[in-house]
Amino acid sequence: MKKIIAALMVAVLTLTMFAACSKKDGDVSAETATQGYVAKQPDFPSKEGTKDFSNESGKVVYQVKYKVPELSGEKYSEATAAIFNNYIEQNFLEPVFDFAEINVKNVRENETEPRKIEISYEIKYLSDNILSVVFSTAYSSQNKMLNAKTFNLVEGTVINGEEFFGNDKETVRKAVLEYFLPYATNLIVRTDDMTDEEVETLAAEKLAEAYEPANIYIRDSYIAFVCNKAKFAEGVGAGAGVHEFILDWNTANTLGALSNPEDIFAK
């Protein structure tokens, strides 16, 4: 297994060096990556609407507009649809609704328009068995939260990125973090008194904290592990955006370390 992981690291690094002429690996934000990816989104059922939140005087002070994916029992089993839809509700709608409800009392009476929050999503990959999306929650034009998730449409559950690898998740985790460390080092805000070793040590700590194997999306050519930039810099808010750590899909497939996304969750 160690030889396979080592070969994976070398092969991916080699491809990355050749690809550097067109783009610098690991330096693509989810917001940038979504631009121009598909001219038209694949046809997928959605749940959308608007929910108003009023203060004690009855004035609408928050307005949440949302559009999220939704499974129906027509194409999927009732159990699969229930698991999927409950996850979306609990993780992407209810937290925002709760935020608006709690903060209605903090809106000034002289504000003439309700504060608006918009929840949307963009499909990055879609097959019969897998849906991969980037969710966007915009609290304002300057404050947008991005979150990537990939779903097993057979069961309605979230896919942990390590499921695309072998069964030894600890070995996979170690190899992935080791490969991404040079890119994480570039995210550290370095002071003049920091040595290279101190920067690398700090980057390793921050990367381990930021790494969420379920916070991923996939494309035909790669798998992207998405981390919030706030994890790497002190005093930076969660709205600072995300950083994508890219692992080439074809290289990993060639080495047998990844399963084909088209087949992995076949019905």
Sheet holding 157-158, edge to edge: 46-54, 60-69, 115-126, 130-140, 143-152, 157-158
Mean pLDDT value of segment 37-56: 83
Q: In this model, does residue 2 exceed pLDDT 60?
A: no
Q: Can you give the pLDDT at residue 14?
A: 35
The larger pLDDT score, comparing residue 73 to residue 67, is at: 67
Mean pLDDT value of segment 162-177: 80
CA distance 186 to 200: 9
Q: Can you give the pLDDT at residue 237?
A: 61
Q: Can you give the pLDDT at residue 144?
A: 84
CA distance 123 to 39: 11
Q: In this model, does residue 176 exceed pLDDT 70?
A: yes
Q: In this model, does residue 45 exceed pLDDT 80?
A: yes
pLDDT band, very low/low/confident/very high, at 51 (cuts 50, 70, 90): very high
Mean pLDDT value of segment 227-231: 86
C-alpha dihedral sign at 59, 139, 87, 132: positive
Q: In this model, does residue 195 exceed pLDDT 90?
A: yes
Q: Can you give the pLDDT at residue 71?
A: 94
The DSSP code sequence of 38-102 is -SS-----EEEEEEEEE-TTS-EEEEEEEEEE---TTTS-HHHHHHHHHHHIIIIIHHHHHHHHH
Q: Can you give the pLDDT at residue 197?
A: 94
What is the chain's mean pLDDT, rounded? Answer: 80
